[in-house]
Copies of this chain bind each other. A is one copy, B any other.
Amino acid sequence: MDCPDCVHLARNSGFCFGVKRAIQIAQDSARERNRIFTLGPLIHNPQMVARLKESGIQPIDDVTQIGAGETVIIRSHGVTRETLEYMKIHGIRYIDATCPYVSKTQQDGRLLSNEGYTVLIIGNREHPEVIALKSYVDGENFVVISPDDFPKKKFGKLGIISQTTQPLDKLKEIVHHAIPRCEELRVFNTICNATLIRQNSTRKLAARSDLMIVIGGRNSSNTKMLAHISSEIVETHHIETASEIDRSWLERKKRIGITAGASTPDWLILDVYNQIIKYTGDRERMVENVEDIPGSKEE
């Protein structure tokens, strides 16, 4: 970086593929209907959820809250087979925006149990993705998050799949533990590397910045993780919107870095960038698209 007072966006930040796709599907569907529902908030970003509500996309907690003829968007985490069944029986229409990587994991889980494997799911037992995934496994199965959770028994055919956002090292650790405990082990590497890529990108940008601004829902796990990683390297502020920026943060900072979680929409990132530029006084550097922010297309 040779420019003084520059503001850069992390190369990999903002919506991941699955989130972008789910939002697109929801918005396209809302255009054709008066109202439409999502099972739980579509993403962990309050500003985006509020904007979706304006388009008639309403979150509900449970399918029993709505009746026949209504339409539900299945969010990127997927839903249980039981919920799907309920909707079919009760005439609730659904549009499936399950992330294709999550669908693949569900298919892998089903294949393993159909072929007689005991299935080990690596993930958080309470996470909606894991709850949905588990419903696709018919036979014996276990959810583990560390080798300590490993069942105290020997297995014949053991299959392993993972919640898509788990770290690769966790998968390696569990497999290491599983090898001497079974005769045959079949592992589907179902981890999506969007999370890892965003973390690496943040780490890289933080290392060459005097200040980092991390944008995303305070309820977003992956955004909180980005803020944590960044804060270990340089002064970091986690915000949801541009209005939270305190001008004093920017004083005597030559190089400012911006990053955003996988559930943070582009318009929030754009707002933050332009707000910072405004404070620098050089309004000519303001941009209209996220793609025009320096760094966003960097190799």
Contacts and interface: CB of A to CB of B under 8 A. Distances in A.
Interface in A19-34: none
Interface residues of A, number: 15
A176 B185 CA distance: 13
A185 B186 contact: yes
A179 B175 contact: yes
Interface in A170-198: 171-172, 175-176, 179-180, 182-189
Contact of A187 (B171, B172, B179, B189): B179
A259 B139 CA distance: 46
B186 A187 contact: yes
Identical copies in the complex: 2
Interface in A72-116: none
Nearest to A171: B179
A167 to B, nearest CB: 11
A242 interface: no
A168 interface: yes
Contacts of A183: 188-189
A168 B180 contact: yes
Contacts of A172: 176, 179-180
A182 B189 contact: yes
A263 to B, nearest CB: 25
A179 B184 contact: no
Contacts of A175: 175-176, 179, 185
A249 B185 CA distance: 49
Interface in A187-237: 187-189
A183 B187 CA distance: 8
Count chain B CB atoms within 10 A of each CB in A175, A186, A187, A188 and give the residue with the most: A187
A186 B171 CA distance: 14
Nearest to A186: B186
Interface of A: 168, 171-172, 175-176, 179-180, 182-189
Q: Lowest 4 CB-CB distances: which A-B pairs, in order?
A: A185-B187, A186-B186, A184-B188, A172-B179
Given A175-B179, A179-B187, A179-B189, 18 more contacts: A168-B179, A168-B180, A172-B176, A172-B179, A172-B180, A175-B185, A176-B176, A182-B189, A183-B189, A184-B186, A184-B187, A184-B188, A184-B189, A185-B186, A185-B187, A185-B188, A185-B189, A187-B187
21 contacts: A168-B179, A168-B180, A171-B179, A172-B176, A172-B179, A172-B180, A175-B175, A175-B185, A179-B187, A180-B189, A183-B188, A183-B189, A184-B186, A184-B187, A184-B189, A185-B185, A185-B186, A185-B187, A185-B189, A186-B186, A186-B187
